[in-house]
């Protein structure tokens, strides 16, 4: 018997993260089985480790698939913003930050359309956090562009401020640019970065705990759904068995009556035989 072809990990991920969220677990199991049947246990194991996305991550993935141009523009803005921060170019940072605010607003509006009125404040905050992180972290930006995000906790925390307001003031064109940043300003920027990094670490830890709780809840809900389906299946089997039992009892009752009737007929026939033999004996 010919083996089935193993699913490619990349195509499997693309398929899974494009599916409706409630279909993820079942389809992942099917793809794992396909890979195992094809003799690819390592691929099967890697597919099995693909995490079901949280609601926020699922919506972000749909955004990347339905609005790829808008997401690409946003990711490009993040690259330019990171570059400007690296140069300590306060004027460019402020200009790009204004664009960032507008683009985040536009993307969230698109997400609301995708969610079709089912977006909660918590999910909205998670999506905004993912978008903000994608601006700062190239790995998160790639995950957003590919539409393969799983949860906020898997995104790298940025180590530079997105809304830095203490950047050097732009100088008039007639003044030559300083060769080195102002030491006091540089120290303020460094302190702001450290404070932001610490704050983001706390947020990341809290988001990780919440995401883990959400994932656990989703797994429990999936298990409950599977159990409920099994209960309904067993109830149908029980109903069929009870119906068959009732039919068998009716058939058994009819069979017993038929046996009794056959016995009565046999008795009558036997008596008739005896009477006939007696009559014949008397005639002889």
Sign of the torsion formed by the C-alpha atoms of 63, 68, 70 and 71: positive
Q: Which tokens sit at 97? A: 């930050």
Backbone angles phi, psi at 120, to 5 degrees: -90, 165
The tally of domains found in the chain comes to 2
Q: What's the whole-model pTM score?
A: 0.54
139 and 69 belong to one structural domain: yes
Contact 59, 114 (CB under 8 A): yes
Concatenating the DSSP letter of every residue in 19-56 gives S-GGGHHHHHHHHHHHHHHTT-HHHHHHHHTPPPPPHH
Contact 56, 126 (CB under 8 A): yes
66 and 43 belong to one structural domain: no
102 and 132 belong to one structural domain: yes
Contact 52, 21 (CB under 8 A): yes
Banded pLDDT at 90 (limits 50, 70, 90) = confident
Residue 273 lies in a domain: no
Banded pLDDT at 7 (limits 50, 70, 90) = confident
Residue 255 lies in a domain: no
Residue 112 lies in a domain: yes
Residue 172 has pLDDT above 60, yes or no: no
87 and 145 belong to one structural domain: yes
41 and 66 belong to one structural domain: no
Residue 29 lies in a domain: yes
Residue 154 has pLDDT above 60, yes or no: no
The more confidently predicted of residues 219 and 258 is: 258
Q: What is the pLDDT of residues 97-107, one digit of tens each?
A: 888 899 999 99
- Closest C-alpha to 31, from 55, 3, 45, 12: 12
* Distance in angstroms (rounded) separating the CA atoms of residues 64 and 127: 12
Residue 245 lies in a domain: no
101 and 70 belong to one structural domain: yes
Banded pLDDT at 168 (limits 50, 70, 90) = very low
Residue 16 lies in a domain: yes
* Distance in angstroms (rounded) separating the CA atoms of residues 64 and 66: 6
* Distance in angstroms (rounded) separating the CA atoms of residues 284 and 282: 5
Backbone angles phi, psi at 148, to 5 degrees: -125, 35
E-strand stretches of the chain? none
Residue 212 has pLDDT above 80, yes or no: no
Residue 214 has pLDDT above 50, yes or no: yes
Residue entry with tokens 């830095």 = 164
Residue entry with tokens 């793809």 = 31
Residue 171 lies in a domain: no
Residue 126 lies in a domain: yes
122 and 32 belong to one structural domain: no
Residue 202 has pLDDT above 80, yes or no: no
Q: Provide the pLDDT for residue 58.
A: 92
86 and 37 belong to one structural domain: no
Q: Provide the pLDDT for residue 72.
A: 93
Banded pLDDT at 11 (limits 50, 70, 90) = confident
* Distance in angstroms (rounded) separating the CA atoms of residues 162 and 81: 8
DSSP code for 89: -
From 158, 187, 221, give the residue that closes a domain. Answer: 158
Measured CA angle at 156 (ends 153, 162), to 5 deg: 115
Structural domain of 43: 9-48
From 158, 176, 201, give the residue that closes a domain. Answer: 158
77 and 152 belong to one structural domain: yes
From 103, 124, 158, give the residue that closes a domain. Answer: 158
Contact 60, 130 (CB under 8 A): yes
HSE-up of residue 262 (Cα within 13 Å, Cβ side): 6
89 and 122 belong to one structural domain: yes
Q: Mean pLDDT score of the chain, rounded to an integer?
A: 78
Q: Among the residues of 38-89, which ranges form H helices? A: 41-48, 55-66, 68-86
64 and 149 belong to one structural domain: yes
96 and 17 belong to one structural domain: no
């Amino acid at each position: 018997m010919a083996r089935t072809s193993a699913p490619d990990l990349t195509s499997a991920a693309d398929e899974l993260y494009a599916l409706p969220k409630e279909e993820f677990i079942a389809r992942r199991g099917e793809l794992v089985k396909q890979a195992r049947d094809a003799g690819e246990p390592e691929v099967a194991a890697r597919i099995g480790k693909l995490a079901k996305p949280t609601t926020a991550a699922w919506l972000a993935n749909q955004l990347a698939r339905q609005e790829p141009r808008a997401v690409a523009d946003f990711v490009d803005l993040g690259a330019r913003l990171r570059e400007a921060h690296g140069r300590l170019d306060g004027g460019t940072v402020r200009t790009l930050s204004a664009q960032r605010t507008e683009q985040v607003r536009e993307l969230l509006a698109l997400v609301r359309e995708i969610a079709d009125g089912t977006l909660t404040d918590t999910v909205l905050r998670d999506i905004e956090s993912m978008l903000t992180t994608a601006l700062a972290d190239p790995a998160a930006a790639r995950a957003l562009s590919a539409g393969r995000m799983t949860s906020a906790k898997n995104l790298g925390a940025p180590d530079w401020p997105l809304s830095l307001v203490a950047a050097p003031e732009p100088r008039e064109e007639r003044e030559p640019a300083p060769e080195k940043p102002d030491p006091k300003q540089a120290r303020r920027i460094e302190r702001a970065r450290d404070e932001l990094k610490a704050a983001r670490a706390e947020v990341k830890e809290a988001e990780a705990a919440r995401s883990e709780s959400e994932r656990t809840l989703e797994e429990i809900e999936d298990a409950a759904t599977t159990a409920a389906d099994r209960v309904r299946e067993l109830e149908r089997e029980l109903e069929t068995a009870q119906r068959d039992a009732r039919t068998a009892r009716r058939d058994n009752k009819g069979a017993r009556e038929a046996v009794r009737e056959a016995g009565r007929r046999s008795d009558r026939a036997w008596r008739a035989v005896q009477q006939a033999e007696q009559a014949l004996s008397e005639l002889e």
